[in-house]
Amino acid sequence: MEFKFCPDCGTRLIKKSVGDEGKIPYCEKCNRPFFDMFATCIIVLIVNQNGEAALLKQNYISNQYYNLVSGYMKPGECAEETARREVKEELGLSLSALEIIGTYWFGKKDMLMIGFIANTLDNEFVLSAEVDSACWIPVEEAIDMVHPKGSVSYALLEKFLDELR
């Protein structure tokens, strides 16, 4: 999101050079720059003790592809807390291990996705209202069921499979 007006006083912002950042929206009245903002989200590949990935069907996201657990960070949460919270909320699973894999820019929605691979000893899902269905699928098959190469889901599954080889 690019600021056009000062969120504090309502004055129309000007473009002003700010350090090495170049021209940034700036409020002359408040003497303050306003850098562009974007959402920060997590995405988690959950694997059980049988080498199966938890895949979600969420029709509001896609009728064609399965998804991994994902969600927005809340103010005050760290990425690991968000990942554990979202997995618990969406699938009712507790995680026994959680590893950050990397960050991914999702330009289609201007989001920074923080990717994790997690393990669980749980096998029964307790679905939230935003999940239409969920299933355990062998990881080797799951990669063909998520959004194709170039997606964050695919990248996390590919990373997991590469480490198995």
How confident is the model over 98-116, as pLDDT tens digits?
A: 999 999 999 888 999 999 9
138: which residues sit within 8 A by CB, 6+ positions away? 51, 52, 53
| Superfamily designation of domain 39-164 | Nucleoside Triphosphate Pyrophosphohydrolase (3.90.79.10)
Q: What is the average pLDDT score of the chain? A: 95
In 3D, which of 5, 52, 49 has the Cα closest to residue 27? 5
Instruction: Kindly report each contact of residues 74-79 with a partner whose C-beta sits within 8 Å and lies 24 or more positions away, as own/partner.
Output: 79/40, 79/42, 79/114, 79/116
* Cβ–Cβ under 8 Å, residues 68 and 156: yes
Residue 165: its pLDDT value, please? 72
Model pTM score: 0.89
16: which residues sit within 8 A by CB, 6+ positions away? 23, 24, 26, 33
Q: For the chain, which residues make up each domain, given as ranges?
A: 1-37, 39-164
Residue 97: its pLDDT value, please? 96
